[in-house]
């Protein structure tokens, strides 16, 4: 009986951890891993070390998202009861005290792991971790998430932190090359604004906790119009400020058409699908757009550093 109970503990923890992050994998885990692989392509030639770097990437990104989701779900129980009843606390899988303990444990592991990577020469990882932790603690514990632009800024800081850390884990040395900075800066600044797309789906939950989000401040129609203009023009922004420009700077790379199509799909959905359920599905295309950009980065660095294109 004791053995069975002991075996059930790690199984439960895997289930709890998975429920914490399952809806954030596309936005908060996969892009960082892929961008880190792009860095490995550009910087690492030893297959064994490359494999170790991939393991570190996976571990870091899981801690990156667990650090955030544990505190976000401890402080967001009221809104989770509206739309996100699968999460471990509101579903009854663990109680609030258990969620709080896991927040401390996961964040301590996250910080220790980042310090160890910094000791091995990956100092930007620790800087990125401290910036990200500071941002989500200020929003979740400090209450700044009630202000729409602070919540958007947190997402932007998280993007800078994710891409900066994973480029370093992939072998990128400081200072980073201009090609890496194009993706890190371009995507970081873009997400500061694009993150407002998530607020259309959560008006009911945000109202319940007294949060003033982007569509609540500007009004749904005006906010939706501004977001449509943003996504319609987004391919121009990504061409000039995200993808490193070639000598023929006016010609898009072939892979740019993937995020372009996703951008215009979001414009289409913002125009025609406007119920909360439909807005939730519309938002789900933003992480897919973000992920597609990091895949493009891997393709581009593969061509640049393997074939010297």
In angstroms, the CA 83 to CA 160 distance is 28
Find the range with the poorest average confidence among 27-36, 157-166, 208-217, 256-265: 208-217
Residue 308 pLDDT class (50, 70, 90 cuts): low
> Average pLDDT of 129-134?
98
In angstroms, the CA 240 to CA 50 distance is 31
Token pair recorded at residue 201: 């789906």
In angstroms, the CA 217 to CA 93 distance is 35
Domain that residue 148 falls in: 2-306
Backbone angle region of 219, left / alpha / beta, with phi > 0 → left and psi within -120 to 50 → alpha? left
What domain count does the chain have? 1
pTM: 0.92
pLDDT tens profile 221-277: 999 999 999 999 999 999 999 987 665 677 788 889 999 999 999 999 999 999 999
Contact 297, 40 (CB under 8 A): no
CATH number at residue 239: 1.10.600
Token pair recorded at residue 104: 């401390």
């Amino acid at each position: 009986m004791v053995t069975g109970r002991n075996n059930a503990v790690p199984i439960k923890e895997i289930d709890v951890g998975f429920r914490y992050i399952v809806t954030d994998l596309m936005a908060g885990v996969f892009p960082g891993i892929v961008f880190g692989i792009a860095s490995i392509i550009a910087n690492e030639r030893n297959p064994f070390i490359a494999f170790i770097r991939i393991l570190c990437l996976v571990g870091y990104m899981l801690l990156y998202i667990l650090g955030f989701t544990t505190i976000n779900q401890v402080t967001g129980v009221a809104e989770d009861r509206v739309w996100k009843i699968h999460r471990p606390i509101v579903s009854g899988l663990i109680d609030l005290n258990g969620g709080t303990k896991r927040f401390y444990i996961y964040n301590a592991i996250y910080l220790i792991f980042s310090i160890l990577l910094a000791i091995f020469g990956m100092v930007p990882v620790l800087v990125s971790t401290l910036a990200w932790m500071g941002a989500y603690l200020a929003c979740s514990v400090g209450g700044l998430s009630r202000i729409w632009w602070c919540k958007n800024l947190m997402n932007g800081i998280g993007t800078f932190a994710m891409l900066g850390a994973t480029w370093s884990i992939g072998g990128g040395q400081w200072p980073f090359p201009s090609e890496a900075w194009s993706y890190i800066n371009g995507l970081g600044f873009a997400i500061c604004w694009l993150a407002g797309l998530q607020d259309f789906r959560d008006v009911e939950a945000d109202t319940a906790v007294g949060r003033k989000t982007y569509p609540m401040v500007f009004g749904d129609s005006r906010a939706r119009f501004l977001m449509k203009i943003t996504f319609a023009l987004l391919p121009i922004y990504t061409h000039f400020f995200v993808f490193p420009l070639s000598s023929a700077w006016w010609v898009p790379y072939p892979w740019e058409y993937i995020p372009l199509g996703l951008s215009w799909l979001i414009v289409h959905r913002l125009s025609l699908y406007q119920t909360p359920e439909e807005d939730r599905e519309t938002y789900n295309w933003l992480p897919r757009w973000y992920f597609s950009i990091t895949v493009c980065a891997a393709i581009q660095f593969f061509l640049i550093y393997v074939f010297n294109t």
